[in-house]
Amino acid sequence: MRFVLLCGLFAALLSPVYAADWKLVWSDEFDKPGLPDSTKWGYETGFVRNHEKQFYTDRRLENARVENGTLIIEARKEQYKDAEYTAASLTTQGKASWTYGRIEMRAKLPTGRGIWPAFWMLGTGHGKGVKWPDCGEIDIMELVGFHPETVEAHCHTAKYSHAKAKGDRTTVTKPWEDFHIYAAEWFPDRIDFCVDDRKYFTFQNDGSTDGWPFDQPQYLILNTAIGGAWGGQQGIDDSIFPQRYVIDYVRVYRDAAAQKAQ
């Protein structure tokens, strides 16, 4: 009997991290060719953050388009305005936000030294009187090109930011060749991060207001940066361009039982 119980416990520890009953509440399956759906996505534009080298463009097919059932975010080496590189950063800010749930993306990632794709979230107070990192940031997936098979997740808060940010990393073999599912499962007491339903990091609610701003809505961002404070630490290899971040879908789920109780 003890052996059976131990085997059952071991199996439970290895089982997928899905909650018992997730209900899909929002998604983009990227099934309509052309520009991304403007009812779901807006754009950051220009030089936005982190001393990055790309100019983020707005509604430019060369940098963001839907084709063959996928969203393509393309980073390019080209002269554009005052920049030598272009890319896109799509956001649901002002269009959709969520508190708690499973947020997932199935994607193939760009690769090469200087590239920096991400799938992440910011609190809706950002830009509306709440400064970063007080608004909270959930980095579901980040990769820098000089570590081409290392995917990372982080949480930034007023208490934990910059070098003190809480996070971890995992190895994904050739993520530029195959699609993988990158997800966060966000609960009132913790946020679990996983790749292909293999959990590799948990950020715990420490009960402090400056350590856990994650009881408020957050919106999504999908972007490819070039260079910058982290992505550019080993320079930029211009021979890699263009690079494509290929996204099959983005989906947001809520726990059906919790949603019904609200």
What per-residue confidence (pLDDT) applies to 163?
Answer: 86
Give the model's pLDDT for residue 255.
Answer: 87
Active site residues: 137, 142
Tokens describing residue 220: 């999504």
pLDDT score for 259: 61
Which segment of 11-15, 30-34, 65-69, 150-154 scores lowest on mean pLDDT? 11-15
Mean pLDDT of the chain: 92
Judging by beta carbons within 10 Å of its beta carbon (0-12, 13-18, 19+), is residue 162 exposed, middle or buried?
Answer: exposed
Alpha-carbon gap, residue 14 to 34, rounded angstroms: 41
Whether pLDDT at 164 is above 60: yes
Nearest Cα residue to 244 out of 123, 99, 72, 88:
72
Q: Mind giving me the DSSP string for the chain?
A: -HHHHHHHHHHHHHS----S-EEEEEEE---S-BS--TTT-EEE-BS-STTB-EEEPSS-TTTEEEETTEEEEEEEEEEETTEEEEE-EEE-TTT--BSSEEEEEEEE---STTEEEEEEEEETTBTTTB-TTTT-EEEEEE--TTSTTEEEEEEE-SSS-GGG-EEEEEE-S-TTTS-EEEEEEE-SSEEEEEETTEEEEEEE--S-TTT--TTS-EEEEEEEEEBHHHHTTT---GGG-SEEEEEEEEEEEEEHHHHHH-
What is the rounded (10 degree) CA torsion for 163, 169, 172, 177?
-20
Task: Give the global pTM.
Answer: 0.90
Q: How far is Cα 38 from Cα 65, in angstroms, rounded to an integer?
A: 12
pLDDT in tens, 185-217: 999 999 999 999 999 999 999 999 999 999 999
Question: pLDDT tens across 6-19, in order?
Answer: 444 444 444 444 44
Would the pLDDT of 2 be above 90? no
C-alpha of 242 from chain center? 21
**Mean pLDDT value of segment 236-245:** 98
In the prediction, which pLDDT does 258 show? 60
Q: Whole-angstrom Cα distance, residue 236 to residue 112?
A: 8
Closest CA to 48 of 78, 77, 79, 91: 91
Residues 142-160 pLDDT 10s: 999 999 999 999 999 999 9
- pLDDT tens-digit series, residues 77-94: 999 999 999 999 999 999
Residue 172 has pLDDT above 70, yes or no: yes
**Domains of the chain with CATH codes:** 22-261 (2.60.120.200)
Model pLDDT, residue 191:
98
Under the banding of pLDDT at 50, 70 and 90, the label for residue 65 is very high
Residue 11, number of CB atoms within 10 A of its CB: 9
pLDDT digits (tens, 9 = 90+) for 44-64: 999 999 999 999 999 999 999
